[in-house]
């Protein structure tokens, strides 16, 4: 009886459009990878454009987003080397 079930199942494989399914699966996966790559490259280009701005442009573009207290806190946390004239 199990043999008949196996044979019936094997015969039914012809009903499944396996080649179309496989083609769509591979195409869909490839398209998803390409789309993700494009989004990643666009994000990278945006990041490079932001990072290559000069400091004054960056400050002018973000001056309303960052408070003076936040800027002072950042500068104080940098532990910048002391100027030789001020230490002597």
pLDDT digits (tens, 9 = 90+) for 18-70: 888 899 999 999 999 999 999 999 999 999 998 888 888 877 887 677 788 88
Nearest to 26 by CA among 36, 16, 18: 18
pLDDT higher than 80, residue 10:
no
Structure tokens at 29: 């996966």
Query: Has residue 72 been placed in a domain?
Result: yes
Query: Has residue 33 been placed in a domain?
Result: no
Which residue range is the domain that position 72 belongs to? 42-76
Query: Has residue 30 been placed in a domain?
Result: no
Instruction: Give the pLDDT band of residue 87 (cuts 50, 70, 90).
Output: low
Q: Count structural domains, the chain.
A: 1
Ramachandran class of 47: left when φ > 0, alpha when ψ lies in -120 to 50, beta otherwise: alpha
Overall pTM surpassing 0.75 (yes/no): no
pLDDT higher than 70, residue 85:
no
Query: Has residue 46 been placed in a domain?
Result: yes
Query: Has residue 47 been placed in a domain?
Result: yes
């Amino acid at each position: 009886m199990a043999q008949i079930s196996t044979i019936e199942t094997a015969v039914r494989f012809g009903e499944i459009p396996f080649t179309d399914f496989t083609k769509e699966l591979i195409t869909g996966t490839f398209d998803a990878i390409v789309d993700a790559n494009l989004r990643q490259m666009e994000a990278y280009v945006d990041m490079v454009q932001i990072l290559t701005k000069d400091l004054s442009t960056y400050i002018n573009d973000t001056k309303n987003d960052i408070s003076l207290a936040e800027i002072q806190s950042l500068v104080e946390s940098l532990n910048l080397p002391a100027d030789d004239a001020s230490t002597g």
